[in-house]
């Protein structure tokens, strides 16, 4: 049977890739091991978090699905880092993991141009260096012109709990046993990575009085710019700590920990380590945070964030019972580590098309990343570019100054990764420009141009942009001196303004907030909270934003200087051997990308520019 495109894997990357392809008119096939695994939240039952919330807002702004689905299934919504500047404010939603899966499965099953089969992708077929089809484990052959591999942690995966090793994917799902060999035959560099998950407990067996309540926030933005208002917070989370006894139990049993006994060979994530690794790495700390998080309304199962482990079951029970409030807790599921195959992301162009096979794209944890949000972002970009190629259009590259997605993909394709990559705000040098609140300003026009932003979303976007321009024009208006103004300034810990001040100058005062000021001073009406907040931020940080824009303009010349895909860097006289080897290995598509490759210095870039 013939398709325009095939997506292998129904996780967060696969779902976004499928929808991007099908919604832009391509006849698409999703090959998934089981429909029960479609966007299954195998680890943390949450969407968003520090920097990850930015990614979800960007997925939504481009016309993706993750943000809408997270908003629809939220149990609790919080804005992290509110004590810091707006650049690092990050949405995080505790979602109903079962509802999230069911909702996304329903969207996929009812999507025009999309078929779904339960099977295992086994062999990629090529002709003249390009994709031409896929053979499944059941022996079926499907012809196509593009394939997106979104295999998650399923390639030759195995789960590990102490000495119990299972040949399986996460949560007991079957794994993919054949595709790695096909990738090896095509010349891909295969890595072995590892991640893990903590125990799940019966909520009725927990003494919550011993924990600190973590409530959700009200009246904050949502992930999707189409969501009219956030769902009410219907669940709470709890914060507790490990104890000195927990630490001692782990130290006394390190020889039984697969991470330290040699059973686990894969490299784990530095920024989301197991509790064993935290105890060893941060030996001076006497305690570590533990969060109790609800998984679904279908049952009373609690996710114990901060206690990811692959220790034997009896040791896990001792560890959990050593935490105050969990002394009588009952296990529903034990924690485990999972090892899996992935590719070296240096095998990819920044379009996420592979350098080895035309029409073959990779997205998600197969590229060495971790996290649902990173996966969804890559899946959307891979789906968009596969669709553009199928339609004979130029593929897009998202720059580092346009989005966190651009930062993520640029990091992967120019620097590579030796461990599961995780997005953080510190990775984005232009993070004040790349805020959650303005993701639509940055990306919705791109989504419209590629065919993913529908009329409803685009009309809402255009209205918002028009209102923002009107609001900006009002910032020069002077607020006359008044008792109300002085009272507001006093509440914001600011000095009085006996002669009044402009709205712009009010915004620039450190303690003020334009939205709160408008509620007290009634500066303007008829604008949404999002519009007022966005204009207030841009006014307050105008100087910093201007400097970042100037820096972007200076570096843009390097980004716009293109390099042919088949360029031979060893042909450049005077270029250092190390630089030539790195450049030939990675094949950057611009001088800007070349300048970010480890081992390439400014002198090498000067020689490259002279040659070009």
**Using one digit for the tens of pLDDT, what is the confidence trace for 105-159?**
999 999 999 999 999 999 999 999 999 999 999 999 999 999 999 999 999 999 9
Q: Where are the domains of the chain?
A: 200-335, 455-544, 561-611
**DSSP annotation string for 322-339:** TSTT-TT--EEE--EEEE
d(CA 37, CA 58): 24
DSSP state of 541: T
Contact 417/345 with Cβ under 8 angstroms?
Answer: yes
- Strands 190-197 and 336-343, bridge-based pairing: antiparallel
Please, which residues have CB within 8 angstroms of residue 572's CB and are 6 or more apart in sequence?
A: 580, 607, 608, 611
d(CA 35, CA 101): 10
For 566, the token pair is 């088949």
d(CA 155, CA 158): 9
First to last CA, the chain: 46
Backbone φ, ψ for residue 497 (5° rounding):
-125, 85
How many other C-beta atoms can be found within 10 angstroms of the C-beta atom of residue 284?
A: 4
d(CA 431, CA 81): 14
Contact 144/21 with Cβ under 8 angstroms?
Answer: no
For 575, the token pair is 């270029």
d(CA 139, CA 121): 10
Please, which residues have CB within 8 angstroms of residue 181's CB and are 6 or more apart in sequence?
A: none
Could you tell me the pTM of the whole model? 0.95
Mean pLDDT of the chain: 95
Q: Kindly report, residue by residue over 582-599, the tens digit of the pLDDT.
A: 999 899 999 999 999 988
Binning pLDDT at 50, 70 and 90, where does residue 321 land? very high
Q: Kindly report, residue by residue over 37-94, the tens digit of the pLDDT.
A: 999 999 999 999 999 999 999 999 999 999 999 999 999 999 999 999 999 999 999 9
Q: Kindly report, residue by residue over 10-42, the tens digit of the pLDDT.
A: 999 999 999 999 999 999 999 999 999 999 999
- Give the per-residue pLDDT at 263: 84
Contact 345/132 with Cβ under 8 angstroms?
Answer: no
Backbone φ, ψ for residue 579 (5° rounding):
-65, -45
DSSP state of 11: S
- Give the per-residue pLDDT at 557: 85
- Give the per-residue pLDDT at 554: 85
What ranges make up the beta strands (E) of 190-271? 190-197, 200-202, 212-214, 237-241
d(CA 131, CA 296): 40
> Exposed/middle/buried for 262, CB within 10 Å: 0-12, 13-18, 19+?
exposed
**Would you say residue 369 has pLDDT above 90?**
yes
- Give the per-residue pLDDT at 404: 98
* Residue among 236, 271, 230, 275 nearest 254 (CA): 275
Paired strand residues for 46: 94
Q: Kindly report, residue by residue over 523-560, the tens digit of the pLDDT.
A: 999 999 999 999 999 999 999 999 999 989 988 888 88
**DSSP annotation string for 172-221:** G---B-SHHHHHHHTT--EEEEEEEE--EEEGGG--GGGSEEEPPPSS--
DSSP state of 480: P
Which fold is adopted by the domain 455-544? Arc Repressor Mutant, subunit A (1.10.10)
Binning pLDDT at 50, 70 and 90, where does residue 271 land? confident
Contact 153/140 with Cβ under 8 angstroms?
Answer: no
Contact 17/382 with Cβ under 8 angstroms?
Answer: yes
d(CA 581, CA 299): 55
Please tell me whether residue 516 adopts helix, strand or coil conformation.
helix
How many other C-beta atoms can be found within 10 angstroms of the C-beta atom of residue 526?
A: 8
d(CA 134, CA 128): 15
> In terms of CATH architecture, what is 200-335?
Beta Barrel (2.40)
Q: Kindly report, residue by residue over 202-237, the tens digit of the pLDDT.
A: 999 999 999 999 999 999 999 999 999 999 999 999
**CATH number of the 561-611 domain:** 1.10.150.570
- Give the per-residue pLDDT at 268: 80
To the nearest whole percent, how much of the chain has pLDDT over 70?
Answer: 100
CA distances for 198 relative to 234, 292, 308, 341, 604, angstroms: 24, 11, 4, 21, 47
Contact 161/336 with Cβ under 8 angstroms?
Answer: yes
Binning pLDDT at 50, 70 and 90, where does residue 362 land? very high
Backbone φ, ψ for residue 440 (5° rounding):
-70, -40
């Amino acid at each position: 049977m013939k398709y325009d495109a095939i997506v292998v894997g129904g996780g967060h990357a696969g779902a976004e890739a499928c929808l991007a392809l099908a919604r832009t008119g391509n006849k698409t096939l999703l090959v998934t091991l089981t429909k029960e695994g479609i966007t299954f939240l195998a680890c943390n039952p949450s969407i968003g978090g520090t920097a990850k919330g930015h990614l979800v807002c960007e997925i939504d702004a481009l016309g993706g699905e993750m943000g809408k689905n997270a908003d629809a299934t939220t149990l609790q919504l919080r804005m992290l880092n509110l004590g810091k500047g707006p650049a690092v404010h990050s949405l995080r939603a505790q979602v109903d993991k079962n509802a999230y899966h069911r909702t996304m499965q329903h969207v996929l099953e009812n999507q025009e141009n999309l078929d779904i089969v339960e099977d295992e992708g086994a062999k990629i077929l090529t002709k003249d260096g390009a994709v031409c089809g896929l053979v499944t484990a059941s022996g079926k052959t499907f012809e196509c012109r593009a394939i997106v591999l979104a295999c998650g942690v399923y390639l030759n995966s195995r789960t590990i709990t102490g000495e119990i090793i299972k040949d399986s994917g996460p949560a007991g799902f079957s794994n993919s046993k054949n595709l790695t060999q096909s990738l090896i035959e095509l010349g891909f560099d295969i890595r072995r990575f590892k991640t893990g998950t903590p125990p799940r407990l019966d909520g009725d067996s927990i003494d919550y009085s011993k924990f600190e309540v973590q409530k959700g926030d009200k009246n904050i933005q949502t992930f999707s710019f189409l969501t009219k208002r956030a769902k009410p917070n219907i669940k709470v989370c709890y914060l507790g700590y490990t104890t000195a006894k927990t630490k001692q139990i782990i130290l006394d049993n390190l020889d039984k920990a697969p991470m330290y006994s040699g059973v686990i060979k894969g490299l784990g994530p530095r920024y989301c380590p197991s509790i064993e690794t935290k105890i060893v790495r941060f030996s001076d700390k006497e305690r570590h945070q533990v969060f109790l998080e609800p998984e679904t309304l279908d049952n009373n199962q609690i996710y114990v964030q901060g206690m990811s482990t692959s220790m034997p079951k009896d040791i896990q029970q001792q560890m959990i019972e050593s935490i105050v409030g969990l002394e009588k807790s009952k296990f529903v599921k034990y924690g485990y580590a999972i090892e899996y195959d992935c590719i070296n992301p240096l095998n990819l162009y920044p379009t996420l098309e592979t350098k080895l096979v035309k029409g073959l794209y990779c997205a998600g944890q197969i590229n060495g990343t971790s996290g649902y949000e990173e996966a969804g972002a890559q899946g959307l970009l891979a789906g968009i570019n596969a669709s553009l190629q199928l339609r004979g259009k130029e593929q897009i590259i998202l720059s580092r100054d346009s989005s966190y997605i651009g930062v993520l993909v640029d990091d992967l394709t120019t620097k590579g990764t030796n461990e599961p990559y995780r997005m953080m705000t510190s990775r984005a040098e232009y993070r004040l420009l790349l805020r959650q609140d303005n993701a639509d300003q940055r990306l919705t026009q791109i989504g419209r141009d590629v065919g993913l932003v529908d009329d409803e979303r685009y009309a809402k976007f255009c209205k918002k942009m028009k209102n923002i321009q009107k609001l900006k024009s009002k910032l020069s208006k002077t607020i006359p001196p008044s008792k109300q103004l002085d009272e507001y300034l006093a509440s914001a810990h600011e000095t009085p303004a006996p002669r009044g001040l402009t709205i712009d100058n009010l915004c620039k005062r450190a303690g003020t907030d334009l939205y709160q000021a408008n509620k007290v001073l009634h500066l303007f009406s008829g604008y949404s909270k999002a519009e007022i907040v966005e204009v207030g931020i841009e006014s307050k940080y105008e100087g910093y934003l201007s400097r970042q824009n100037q820096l972007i303009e200076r570096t843009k010349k390097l980004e716009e200087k293109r390099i042919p895909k088949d360029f031979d860097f060893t042909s450049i006289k005077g270029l250092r051997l190390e630089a030539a080897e790195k450049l030939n290995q990675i094949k950057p598509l611009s001088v800007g990308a070349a300048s970010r490759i480890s081992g390439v210095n400014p002198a090498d870039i000067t020689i490259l520019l002279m040659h070009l």
